[in-house]
């Protein structure tokens, strides 16, 4: 009894003031404190961190822990009610012996039973308190674990997402580094070619200068002769001096700067399309059935063993579905789902307000392959058999939200499969479900085209 009560006191006590929580608030790390205790503690420190685990926390976001607050109030009230209920029961009389009910043996009994029957009776106040502590402890353990579990999942998601973001940017950085190195190498190669060209031109000019120097020396010798002798020089000797062309650069001797810098960013981005993919539908892991595991890029899924996932409101807990991350209220939208050799699959759209919990058929419009048979299924009514030959490898979904048409086709064989006509009154989301244990389903990346005006 004492241990059960102390357990409750300890678990419901603020680690700062050591008293029962008053207006408890929840930090992002999962720990709770009295609101005033937390504020007073942070006033004394330069940085806002959890008093227990020292993790940095937002000074503007620490929501009230309503579950813990309710539990503390219930615990405090239980002590008051315990005294009242014990007083009432103690004033009652045993129907068999006419004595006051003071002991408990699965039911209230009087002191006479202690002498005539078993000796393992508990005093009634202790039994009442034990029952309340047991119930309170059970409720508290569930309510206590919930924020911690949610916080752990939140931290895990954040860390995993951060790691993937860094990996994706690392790929882009690597591409840009390699592209930069390739373009610098091209520039250096051109520089070397032009330098060799200039070197050859300079060598040619050196030869011309050397030849000209010889001619000049010969003329100087003639100039030292008498005037009549100089005038008798052949004209060709003088012409070779006066008609020598001025030194000039050859065409194309300079670096083609425009080739290297013109639309540089655009041309790098254009080349980047070789590694960058665009997928028209990204799957939302927060909606995925617990037996589904999604790829890191959130474009494919496969069946797996049950995972420990938070039972958030968005997640399907009974029906095997996962939704796209973006819904459609208007416009025309198209995406392809690669089904390959999968022995079971469902593809289509699901209405936003569809029930996610329990064995409730969601508002969905789909085509499927289950039990070796193809079919189309509206929200209500029987399924519609579909004949598909040959077996499709991809299913194309075309949603014309404004006209209320949802069409399915086999793009590889240009075969129409089925069209639903419905006046959609709310947002609909792409949906994939019923994946096999061996194969996976994948959203096919779209083709990227550049249009310049």
Question: In the chain, where are the structural domains located?
Answer: 2-91+133-162, 170-272, 285-443
Q: Which residues contact 120 (CB under 8 A, 6 or more apart)?
A: 105
What's the CATH code, domain 285-443? Answer: 2.60.120.920
- 98-107, 232-241, 294-303, 362-371: which has the minimum mean pLDDT? 98-107
pTM above 0.85, yes or no: no
Tell me if 179 sits within 8 A of 269, measured CB to CB. Answer: no
Flag whether pLDDT at 80 surpasses 50. Answer: yes
Mean pLDDT of the chain: 80
Higher pLDDT residue, 128 or 72?
A: 72
Judge whether residue 238 has pLDDT over 80: no
Asked if the model's pLDDT at residue 240 lies above 90, the reply is: no
pLDDT at 44: 84
pLDDT higher than threshold 50 for residue 106: no
Contact by Cβ (8 Å): 175, 272:
yes
pLDDT given at position 229:
60
For residue range 190-200, list pLDDT tens digits in order: 999 999 988 88
Q: What is the mean pLDDT of residues 137-149?
A: 52
Confidence of residue 117 (pLDDT cuts 50, 70, 90): very low
Topology alike, domains 2-91+133-162 and 285-443:
no
Closest CA to 321 of 353, 347, 282, 296: 347
| 332: β partners | 400
Per-residue pLDDT tens over the stretch 292-336: 999 999 999 998 877 778 888 899 988 999 999 999 999 999 999
Residue 100 pLDDT exceeds 60: no
Residue 148 has a pLDDT of: 46
Architecture, CATH, for domain 2-91+133-162:
2-Layer Sandwich (3.30)
pLDDT at 112: 45
**pLDDT digits 0-9 by tens, 160-207:** 889 999 999 999 999 999 999 999 999 999 999 999 988 888 888 888
Cα 439 → chain centroid: 23
Please determine, for residue 88, whether its predicted confidence score (pLDDT) is greater than 80: no
Distance CA 446, CA 299 (A): 12
Per-residue confidence at 108, pLDDT binned at 50, 70, 90? low
């Amino acid at each position: 009894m004492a241990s059960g009560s102390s357990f409750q006191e300890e678990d419901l006590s603020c680690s700062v003031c050591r008293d029962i929580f008053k207006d408890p608030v929840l930090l992002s790390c999962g720990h709770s404190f009295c609101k005033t205790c937390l504020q007073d503690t942070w006033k004394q420190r330069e940085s806002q961190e959890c008093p227990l685990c020292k993790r940095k926390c937002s000074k503007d976001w620490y929501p009230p822990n309503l579950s813990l607050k309710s539990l503390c109030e219930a615990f405090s009230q239980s002590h008051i009610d315990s005294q009242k209920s014990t007083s009432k029961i103690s004033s009652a009389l045993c129907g068999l012996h006419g004595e006051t009910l003071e002991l408990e043996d699965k039911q209230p009994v009087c002191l006479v039973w202690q002498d005539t029957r078993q000796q393992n009776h508990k005093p009634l106040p202790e039994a009442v308190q034990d029952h309340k502590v047991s119930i309170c402890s059970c409720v508290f353990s569930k309510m206590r674990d919930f924020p911690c579990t949610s916080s752990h999942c939140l931290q895990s998601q954040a860390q995993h997402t951060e790691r993937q973001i860094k990996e994706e940017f690392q790929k882009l950085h690597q591409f840009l580094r390699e592209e930069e190195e390739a373009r610098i190498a091209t520039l250096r190669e051109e520089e070397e070619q032009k330098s060799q060209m200039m070197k050859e031109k300079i060598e040619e000019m050196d030869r011309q200068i050397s030849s000209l120097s010889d001619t000049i020396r010969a003329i100087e010798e003639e100039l030292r002769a008498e005037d009549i002798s100089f005038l008798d020089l052949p004209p060709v000797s003088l012409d070779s001096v006066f008609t020598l062309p001025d030194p000039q650069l050859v065409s194309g001797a300079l670096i083609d700067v425009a080739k290297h810098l013109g639309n540089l960013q655009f041309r790098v981005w254009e080349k980047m399309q070789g590694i960058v993919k665009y997928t028209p539908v990204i799957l939302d892991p927060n909606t995925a059935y617990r037996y589904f595991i999604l790829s890191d890029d959130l474009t494919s899924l496969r069946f797996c063993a049950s995972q420990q996932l938070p039972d958030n409101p968005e997640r399907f807990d009974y029906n095997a579905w996962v939704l796209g991350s973006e819904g459609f209220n208007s416009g025309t939208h198209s995406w392809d789902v690669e089904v390959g050799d999968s022995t079971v699959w469902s593809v289509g759209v699901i209405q936003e307000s569809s029930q996610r919990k329990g064995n409730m058929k969601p508002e969905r419009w789909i085509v499927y392959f289950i039990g070796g048979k193809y079919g189309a299924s509206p929200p209500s009514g029987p399924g519609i058999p579909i004949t598909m030959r040959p077996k499709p490898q991809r299913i194309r979904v075309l949603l014309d939200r404004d006209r209320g048409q949802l069409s399915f086709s086999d793009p590889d064989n240009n075969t129409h499969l089925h069209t639903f006509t419905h006046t959609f009154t709310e947002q609909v989301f792409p949906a994939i479900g019923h994946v096999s244990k061996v194969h996976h389903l994948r959203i096919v990346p779209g083709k990227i085209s550049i249009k310049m005006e």
